């Protein structure tokens, strides 16, 4: 079982989109028993809040099933041992994750560093571009799943 935690600033836009896009990809490959996938925030700003409605709308539009009761939860120190991969959306997330714990077992990565075009995923909370966020996250998750399934 591969345990993945996607991480962004608020856990109401990018990381929950990544969580449910990745679950969808895994389901389509009949690999649900091989993966445990969650998402967390580096900040506590949105603690307890649901997925941001425009992000929900994008997931619905793309036919991605998601948990309507998903609530923003802050990443905590003990999470380092809970997951095999802790995947941030942008450099600022990686910096914040590294403030919380030392990555002594090489678990922390930026999502699009798995792609052919390493880059940050812009925050749609600020850009309002949920199409771009969706496309970037799908690209990252597709490469990540390819990487992870090479050894299954």
Q: Is 123 a catalytic residue?
A: yes
Q: Is residue 18 within the footprint of ligand 4NP (CB under 6 A)?
A: no
Q: Is 13 a catalytic residue?
A: no
Q: Give the one residue of 4, 9, 108, 138 binding ligand 4NP; rule: CB under 6 A.
A: 9
Alpha helices in the chain (DSSP H): 14-28, 53-61, 79-82, 91-100, 124-127, 130-149
> How many helices and strands (H and E) does the chain possess?
6, 4
Q: Give the one residue of 46, 79, 136, 139 binding ligand 4NP; rule: CB under 6 A.
A: 46
Nearer to ligand 4NP, 24 or 46 (CB): 46
Query: Angle at CA 95, nearest 5°, toward 102 and 51?
Result: 110
Query: Binding marks (x or -) toward ligand 4NP, 70..109, rule CB under 6 A?
Result: ----------------------------------------
Q: Give the one residue of 45, 61, 67, 135 binding ligand 4NP; rule: CB under 6 A.
A: 45
Q: Is residue 11 within the footprint of ligand 4NP (CB under 6 A)?
A: yes
Q: Give the one residue of 12, 22, 25, 148 binding ligand 4NP; rule: CB under 6 A.
A: 12
Q: Is 119 a catalytic residue?
A: no
| Cβ-Cβ contacts under 8 Å for 98 (sequence gap 6 or more) | 108
**Token pair 């935690």: residue:** 5
Q: Is residue 19 within the footprint of ligand 4NP (CB under 6 A)?
A: no
Q: Is residue 138 within the footprint of ligand 4NP (CB under 6 A)?
A: no
Give the separation between CA 43 and CA 9, rounded to whole angstroms.
Answer: 6
Give the separation between CA 90 and CA 48, rounded to whole angstroms.
Answer: 22
The helix (H) or strand (E) run that includes residue 88 is: strand 85-88
Count the Cβ atoms, other than its own, within 10 Å of residue 116: 7
Interface residues with ligand 4NP (CB under 6 A) are: 8-14, 45-46, 123, 125
């Amino acid at each position: 079982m591969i345990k993945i935690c996607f991480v962004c600033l608020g856990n109401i836009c990018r990381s929950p989109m990544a969580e449910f896009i990745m679950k969808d990809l895994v389901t389509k490959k009949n690999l649900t028993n091989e993966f445990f996938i969650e998402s967390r925030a580096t900040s506590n700003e949105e603690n307890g809040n649901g997925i941001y409605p425009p992000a929900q709308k994008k997931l619905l539009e793309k036919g991605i099933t998601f948990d309507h009761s998903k609530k923003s939860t802050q990443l905590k120190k003990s999470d380092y041992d809970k997951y095999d991969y802790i995947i941030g959306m942008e450099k600022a997330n990686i910096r914040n994750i590294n403030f919380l714990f030392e990555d002594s077992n090489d678990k922390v990565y930026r999502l699009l560093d798995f792609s052919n075009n390493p880059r940050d995923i812009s925050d749609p909370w600020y850009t309002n571009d949920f199409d771009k966020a969706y496309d970037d996250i799908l690209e990252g998750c597709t490469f990540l799943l390819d990487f992870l399934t090479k050894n299954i």
